[in-house]
Amino acid sequence: MLSQKYPFVLPPLGYANNAVEPAVDAQTMGIHHDRHHAAYVTNLNAAVQPQTALHGLTLGELLMGLRRWPPAVQTAIRNNGGGHANHALFWKLLSPGGAVAQVPSGRLAEMVARDFETVDACKAALKAAAVSQFGSGWAWLVKTATSRLAVRALPNQDSPLLEGELPIVGIDVWEHAYYLKYQNRRADYVDAILARINWDVAGDQVV
């Protein structure tokens, strides 16, 4: 997804709207993908369309190089480019039913052991970041510029790529992600999401 260039395209969800129930109800999933994510893509295209010098750049390059682009387009790329990249990863991370890889393997497992000691400690740090993020934002497991794992709580649609960090796992804590089913019970939503994260997909993000 980070290799997409203008014009950007909404990726399919990859599963039915009800495939991640009961963690995510079908109505929320449909609105979240078909309206919220779609709007980020539409608004990103509208912002980048007049900036022909940026048309050859990938989504990842646009986010990592944000401060180098014309000031008029920086906020739109930050918000809508971030929204596009963040959600595209989120849909892939969610496991649509059945067995799910509950723990990382391979290189990611080694990094978790080195930087958190245990998988449970890593998940607990992610949950703490997700629950404590004030207002809209995301909790992230990232690979830092020095190839360590770290947890970040970032506001709005800020991508870890803005600071040169690679997103490995993201948990959307905007109210649009959970309010219909969970109302103010964000911690319950985060627990349900963490139980549906496919850690094999997370491992694929480590490069």
Please give the annotated binding residues, written as ranges. 32, 87, 172, 176
Residue partners of 121: CB distance under 8 A and separation at least 6: none
Residue closer to Fe ion by CB (options 69, 140) is 140
Cis peptide before 96 (omega within 30 of 0): no
Tokens describing residue 184: 């103010």
Which residues of this chain interact with Fe ion, rule CB under 5 A?
A: 172, 174, 177
Q: Which among 135, 165, 137, 176 has a CA at the least distance from the CA of 153?
A: 137
| Dihedral sign from CA coordinates of 170, 171, 174, 180 | positive
* Residue 200 CB, nearest approach to Fe ion (Å): 23
- Closest CB to Fe ion among 69 and 90? 90
> CB-wise, 6 or 174, nearer to Fe ion?
174
CB of 73 to Fe ion, least distance (A): 22
Q: How many CA atoms lie within 13 A of 30 on its CB side?
A: 6
- Of 196, 173, 193, 170, nearest in space to 184 by CA: 173
Residue 156 beta carbon to Fe ion: minimum distance, rounded to whole angstroms? 11
Q: Can you say which residues are annotated as belonging to the binding site for Mn(2+)?
A: 32, 87, 172, 176
- Closest CB 146 distance from Fe ion, rounded Å: 29
Nearest to Fe ion of 154, 177 (CB atom): 177
> Distance (Å, rounded) from C-alpha 140 to C-alpha 108?
15
